[in-house]
Amino acid sequence: MSIGDKEDRIFKALSAGVRRAMLDALKDRPQTTGQLCARFAPLDRCTVMQHLKVLEEADLVIAERTGRERWNYLNPLPIKHIHDRWIGDYAKSAVSLLDRLKTDLED
């Protein structure tokens, strides 16, 4: 799979608010699929599983079976790679610009 395909999957996964909320829920600690279903109660279990599948395909969630439970873990590395590629350079430019502006205003 090419880098572009991987990034497309990440952006697709992050495009839905409910999936971003699921990632937020996994930020503090891993959760079972049952716990996520309870947390997103307006959605049925099948819908939660579909969203988790999209997150897994984007490598944003790593699922691990332990007995009858399926534990879901956040994998933040794909988001960091997106940040480094798409935001990091822009942020550096913006910080440099703000630093120059501050220096010019102080002089």
CATH of the domain at 60: 1.10.10.10
Q: Is the pLDDT of residue 63 over 80?
A: yes
Mean pLDDT across 80-95: 81
Element (H, E) at 92: helix 88-106
Q: Is residue 88 part of a domain?
A: no
The total domain count for the chain is 1
Structural domain boundaries, residue 22: 3-76
Q: Within a domain: residue 95?
A: no
Per the domain annotation, does 17 fall within a domain?
A: yes
**Residue 1 clears pLDDT 70, i.e. is over it:** no
- pTM strictly above 0.85: no
Taking each helix axis from N to C terminus, what angle separates 3-14 and 17-28, rounded to the nearest 10 degrees?
90
Domain annotation covers residue 83: no
pLDDT tops 90 at residue 98: no
Lowest-pLDDT range, 10-14, 56-60, 77-81, 103-107?
103-107
Label residue 18 left, alpha or beta by phi (over 0 means left) and psi (-120 to 50 means alpha): alpha
